[in-house]
Structure 1
Amino acid sequence: MAGAIQIFEVKTTADKKRFVDVQFALNKHDPAWVPPLKMDALELLTPGKNPWFEHGHGDLFIAVRDGKDVGRISAHIDHLWLDMPPEQGGGKDIGNWGLYEATDKDVSDALIAHAEAWLRKEGMKRSVGPISISIWDEPGLLIKGHDHSPTVMMGHHNPHYEAWIEAAGYGKVKDLNTYEVDITKTFPPLIERIVASGERNPRITVRTVNKKNFKAEAALILSILNDAWSGNWGFLPITDSEIQYVGKKLKPIVFNDLIRIAEVEGEPVAFMMTWPDLNEMQKDLNGSLFPFGVVKLLWRLNGGFSGRPTVNTVRVPLMGVKKKLQATRLASQLAFMMIEYIRSDSVKLFGATRAEIGWILEDNQGMVSIADAINSHKNRVYRIYTKDL
């Protein structure tokens, strides 16, 4: 008979390493799971390294039974989330939990109850999760798409978690979807005509980014993002510190040909960001760059001596058009132009055959319509839950 479940708080660096190792232990037999780099996983949890802690605080917990680590969870409060308008999912009394793993329902129940108790102690009256740990990191629980590996910066979870979380009293608040598309095929004739029409418009310029001017280009893209997404459910503005942090972290998978900025009469008004799927390159490293992982990863990122990797998949994590153009024909035209240019270069220059777009909010009709128009199909669904405390 199994012993009692004990929950203890992570306090030391050694505890944080145990917290990270729980994920490895519980997922190592899942062929679709991609081990994150442990150095990145630890950095995510560390104040002073992850700028999320400049506007959020929380604690980490590990579940132990019979001397064995059997689960983990975070309980945290993002102060920007507290300031989010209620119609976008925010409020002064909403806390989050995430980074959730459990061996069975009993462990799950104990962890979720512990996180809820922490949130109540902090004065929270509603819980929203899983958020791991920012909406910009890995939000939501995978409920569809367990049969294939996630792309870079997307989560992967045990299919049992859905039932365990719902049994704890949680209900859906929002689904985040990703879409898969075969990019070796040209888009439908209507899309080709829209792109050709845009190319004849002298007001429109669609350019690649210049990685040599990386900081300025990143700041420009994120300024468009903060404007374009500001009305979306769950939107949190990206701070200057987070811009620098994310830029440094993702610079190795930034390639000029895979990011486009659209300008109208010289004004940058839209962007599309695409990354080669880093998960393909690091899946066999088992979370470690040492002793030989760093050499393997650098070789793959640089495509040997070519300067660019060869990958099967590219991911489109972010795309946006300034609010003043949204719901106009010009907005969709700019989107299709950027999509087509990146599709072509992804195949020609990187050898890619498929793209994953998202996540996309289930009720973002503009982006859903674009995904439908290019003959993509929904391949993964991540669900965010809520519960009154």
Structure 2
Amino acid sequence: MMQLIEVNDRKTVREFLDLPRKIYAGDPYWIPHLEKDVEAVFSPVKNLQFQHGESIRWILKDDAGDVIGRVAAFINKNLAYTFDRPTGGMGFFECVKQKEAAFLLFDACKNWLEARGMEAMDGPINFGERERFWGLLLEGHGKYPPYLMNYHPVYYRELFESYGFKNYFYQFVYQILTDTILPPVIERKINRLTETEGYRFEHIQLRDIEKYAEDFMTIYNKAWGASRENFSPMTKKQALSIFSGMKRVIDPELVIFGYHRDTPVAFFINIPELNEIFRFVNGKLNLAGKLKFLYYRWIRNCRTIYGIVFGIIPEYQNRGLESALIMTLQRIVAKKRRYQSMYITWLGDFNPKIIRIVEHIGATRAFTLATYRKMFDENAHFERHPVVN
């Protein structure tokens, strides 16, 4: 008989963290997430979501006492009630190729969420921001995933869909070479923006990190708040937390902000693709892991940029700022001669306009992930994520 065990002590935390090594044994493209990044999600001290939410984790053992699955469930109360039906989340799912085991884990999430008034669950997602641990990998196996992106066995898709999860939206990761030549019409448009229309584009300065965090919050709330009914505004505290957390991995010249006569109107946030180095530390940033990180960072500079997110406030959209942000970054990168390609990540299929722009500048799709939704009432009406106009 299988045994579901709540993760609530050092032993079960260790078993929760160790299971992926069993699931992905023999897969040369799997890179373990840093354990400290995973554990930060479940820390009430480090994760601000606990101020208005709760979470739980389980591991699953077989008859022999071996761990064969794990999962987490959570509720963000600021978000859950903004949908047509109260919706919780599940994520950090890992399981052997056994439908009975997977369904037991899914049932645990469903029952826990239902007991707290939820009528649906999204997954696999993060108990936090979307730029990490979000979505089920559908396409892109056979290549190293970017830092903080989920990576899964092919068979997970069948486990989710056979349980009744439906595709709420796709999210895409695109890749472009940094020496890609933009179409002349885009070059002319960008030059006009900066020379005659009062725009400027700049990379951040770490000494002014609080200023840029506040500018990020301003743009984010205007850009996302205008396009999503289920939007929870970012606070200054959250913005500072995000930027403070990025300081250890950031190259300030890769974080671009756009201003119109000193008003912050756009951003494009990138980091070095650290999985090119983290794949050598085996998920652990203990002393040995830190030494490996420093060693490989010294002998193997990151050659890829990882674009986390970009945003433009509504009244400044459709003016070419998307291309201007990317071109500004390309010009900076060309001078450094360090980076060879760039991932542009987290493009939802509900935003076809931005996808068209990214494809127009020469980017190609590298990974496809899906965010699923499971309605607890099988007869309940299901709708995919609305398209952003």
Q: How does the TM-score come out when normalised to structure 2? A: 0.90
CA offset digits 1:173-195 (Å, max 9, x no partner): 11111111122222222222222
- What SS does the corresponding residue of 1:285 show, helix, strand or coil? coil
2:363 corresponding residue in structure 1: 376
1:87 corresponding residue in structure 2: none
1:5 corresponding residue in structure 2: 2
**Worse-superposed segment, 57-66 or 360-369:** 360-369
Q: Alpha carbons of 1:111 and 1:148: their partners in 2 closer, same or farther (altered >3 Å)?
A: same
CA offset digits 1:158-212 (Å, max 9, x no partner): 1100011101011111111111112222222222222222232251111221111
1:96 corresponding residue in structure 2: 89
| 1:182/1:354 contact within 8 Å kept | yes
Amino acid at match of 1:98: G
CA offset digits 1:289-347 (Å, max 9, x no partner): 2333213324555x57xxxx832211111111112222x3x2xx222122012123234
How do residues 216-235 of structure 1 correspond to structure 2 at under 5 angstroms?
216-230=211-225, 231-232=227-228, 235=231
- Kindly state the Cα deviation for residue 252 of structure 1 after the two structures are TM-superposed: 1.9
CA offset digits 1:239-293 (Å, max 9, x no partner): 4443233222211222221111111122111111111101111111001223332
Identity across aligned pairs (percent)? 24
2:125 corresponding residue in structure 1: 131
How do residues 1-389 of structure 1 correspond to structure 2 at under 5 angstroms?
4-65=1-62, 66-84=64-82, 90-91=83-84, 93-104=86-97, 105-136=99-130, 137-230=132-225, 231-232=227-228, 235-298=231-294, 303=298, 310-326=301-317, 328=318, 330=319, 333-349=320-336, 351-389=338-376
2:330 & 2:149 partners in 1: Cα distance? 21
| 1:51/1:241 contact within 8 Å kept | no
Q: Which runs of 5+ in 1 are unaligned?
A: 85-89
Q: Which runs of 5+ in 2 are unaligned?
A: 377-389
- Kindly state the Cα deviation for residue 39 of structure 1 after the two structures are TM-superposed: 2.0
Q: Alpha carbons of 1:55 and 1:282: their partners in 2 closer, same or farther (altered >3 Å)?
A: same
- What SS does the corresponding residue of 1:379 show, helix, strand or coil? strand
- What SS does the corresponding residue of 2:164 show, helix, strand or coil? coil
1:240 & 1:193 partners in 2: Cα distance? 36
- Kindly state the Cα deviation for residue 229 of structure 1 after the two structures are TM-superposed: 1.6
| 1:59/1:74 contact within 8 Å kept | yes
Amino acid at match of 1:76: F
| 2:273/2:305 contact within 8 Å kept | yes
- Residues paired across the two proteins, number: 372
- What SS does the corresponding residue of 1:52 show, helix, strand or coil? helix
Q: Alpha carbons of 1:244 and 1:262: their partners in 2 closer, same or farther (altered >3 Å)?
A: closer
**Worse-superposed segment, 271-280 or 336-345:** 336-345
Amino acid at match of 1:64: K
| 1:34/1:283 contact within 8 Å kept | yes
2:12 & 2:2 partners in 1: Cα distance? 17
Question: What is the root-mean-square deviation in Å for CA atoms of aligned residues?
Answer: 2.0
2:337 & 2:33 partners in 1: Cα distance? 23
Q: Alpha carbons of 1:148 and 1:81: their partners in 2 closer, same or farther (altered >3 Å)?
A: same
| 2:47/2:128 contact within 8 Å kept | no
- What SS does the corresponding residue of 1:132 show, helix, strand or coil? coil
Q: Alpha carbons of 1:168 and 1:226: their partners in 2 closer, same or farther (altered >3 Å)?
A: same
